[in-house]
Amino acid sequence: MKVMQISPYFPPHLGGVEYHVKGLSDGLAKRGYDISIASSCGNGNFEFTRIPSIDLFYAPFPLRLPRIRADIFHSHVPSPIFAFFFRKSSPQVVTYHNDIVVPGKINGHHFPMPLRISMERLNEKFIQPVLDEAKIIIATTKSYAETSPVLRNYTHKIRIVPNAVDLSAYIQGRRKEKFIVFAGRMVEYKGIGTLLDAVKEVQKKEALRLVLLGDGYDRHILEARARRMGIDAVFAGRVGRSNLVDILSRAEMLILPSNSRLEAFGIVLLEAMACETPVLAFDTPGVNEIAREGGLVYSNMEELAQVILELHHDEPLRRSMGMRGRRAVENKYSWSRVLDQIESVYDEVA
């Protein structure tokens, strides 16, 4: 069976969707599927069709559409513009990774509310025909699908298939050291400002270092803010996969402070859980489902600071959470398990 994976971006371009599409493609190829990729950028060991595009702020706009044949077309959104151009390719499966919510601030600049509303409405105009044409829509968690204003009209064709990680890449049983970690893009909607506020309160009582991994538009703003606050925080930038795993496996806990629907799952939660590292996450749909498998959720800065301190002082609880998280990844979020579910979806539409 030939499957065309359609993604706005593909590795080495960085991002959660890109990471998922690459893992999905690798796994399906090992199971005998003929995989090809259509994307605006990237490369890999697959038949690859690079679509010339204009990049409109994380939304590549295709300049031309080649003729492509496949038994199944699997599109990944966002961005909706790319999938919109392929919407008539049939049979179509669409993985809906998250809603589009335009952040209030990007790179230190405020986006006026009318402009944000206009951009979100434009997104809906592009995404609706894509979802109308799809035979099946995949959402990564039940709670996110049930609370999405976009997906509420498509419940009859939604299937839940989560993200996954390669368990063999993650280290178990490491001795935890006296630091907490954030890993992700340095942008406003990730909630890093709230994390810095909470860590400020924590460090009034405990010398618990914060290590932040990743890069993004707002990194220099966040670094300056941490310096002004006098926080013991290390902004390590982008790190390679082996370094990421090493740091996750040694941290007392990982924190995902995103408070936006742009964060629908949080693959980094699975990565930490696979390392037997407890996780803390803001209580939002989708993310909270995953975080509760190997940690806790919180609702405000004060609660986050309190939970960090409680976990820091309770090593047996941290160890128990870490082991529970690892078991959850083994039972629900391994590629073997997720590929079985994807194959069921393909069988349904083929």
pLDDT in tens, 187-216: 888 999 999 999 999 999 999 999 999 998
The pLDDT of residue 123 is 77
Find the Cα–Cα–Cα–Cα dihedral 300, 285, 58, 267, rounded to 10°: 90
Q: Which residue do the tokens 């080495």 mark? A: 12
Bigger pLDDT: 188 vs 290? 290
pLDDT in tens, 257-286: 999 998 999 999 999 999 999 999 999 999
Bigger pLDDT: 236 vs 60? 236
Domains 2-164+334-349 and 167-332 share a fold: yes
- C-alpha distances (whole Å) from 9 to each of 41, 61, 161, 346 are 6, 11, 21, 22
- C-alpha distances (whole Å) from 8 to each of 43, 86, 152 are 13, 11, 24
pLDDT in tens, 24-58: 999 999 999 999 999 988 887 889 988 888 877 67
Query: Three-state secondary structure along the chain?
Result: CEEEEECCCCCCCCCHHHHHHHHHHHHHHHCCCEEEEEECCCCCCCEEEECCEEECCCCEEECCCCCCCCCEEEEEECCHHHHHHCCCCCCEEEEECCCCCCCCEECCEECCHHHHHHHHHHHHHHHHHHHHHCCEEEECCHHHHHHCCCHHHHHHHEEECCCCECHHHCCCCCCCCCEEEEECCCCHHHCHHHHHHHHHHHCCCCCCEEEEECCCCCHHHHHHHHHHHCCCEEEEECCCHHHHHHHHHHCCEEEECCCCCCCCCCHHHHHHHHCCCCEEEECCCCHHHHHHHHEEEECCHHHHHHHHHHHHCCHHHHHHHHHHHHHHHHHHCEHHHHHHHHHHHHHHHC
> Which tokens belong to 24?
């999905």
In this structure, the strands spanning 2-6 and 34-39 are parallel
The pLDDT of residue 66 is 82
The pLDDT of residue 105 is 67
Grade residue 106 by pLDDT with cuts at 50, 70 and 90: low
The pLDDT of residue 238 is 92
Residue 120 has pLDDT above 70, yes or no: yes
CB atoms within 10 A of CB 16: 18
Bigger pLDDT: 43 vs 173? 173
CB atoms within 10 A of CB 83: 28
- pLDDT (mean) for 108-122: 72
- Compute φ and ψ for 199, nearest 5 degrees: -65, -35
Sequence length of the chain is 350
Grade residue 312 by pLDDT with cuts at 50, 70 and 90: very high
Say if CB 38 and CB 51 are below 8 A apart. yes
Say if CB 291 and CB 219 are below 8 A apart. no
Residue 59 has pLDDT above 80, yes or no: no
Q: Which residue do the tokens 């390392």 mark? A: 275
Nearest alpha-carbon partner for 277 in 254, 258, 305:
254
* Reported pTM: 0.92
> Which tokens belong to 236?
């390590």
CATH topology of domain 167-332: Rossmann fold (3.40.50)
Please say whether the structural domain 2-164+334-349 has been given the CATH code 3.30.230.10: no
- Domains in the chain: boundaries: 2-164+334-349, 167-332
Find the Cα–Cα–Cα–Cα dihedral 172, 177, 182, 183, rounded to 10°: -40
> Which tokens belong to 295?
């940690």
Residue 224 has pLDDT above 90, yes or no: yes
CB atoms within 10 A of CB 154: 19
CA 178 remoteness from chain centre: 26
Bigger pLDDT: 107 vs 102? 102
- Compute φ and ψ for 285, nearest 5 degrees: -55, 145
In this structure, the strands spanning 209-213 and 136-139 are unpaired
pLDDT in tens, 128-164: 999 999 999 999 999 999 999 999 989 999 999 999 9
Grade residue 13 by pLDDT with cuts at 50, 70 and 90: confident
The pLDDT of residue 211 is 98
User: Angle at CA 135, nearest 5°, toward 336 and 86?
Assistant: 95
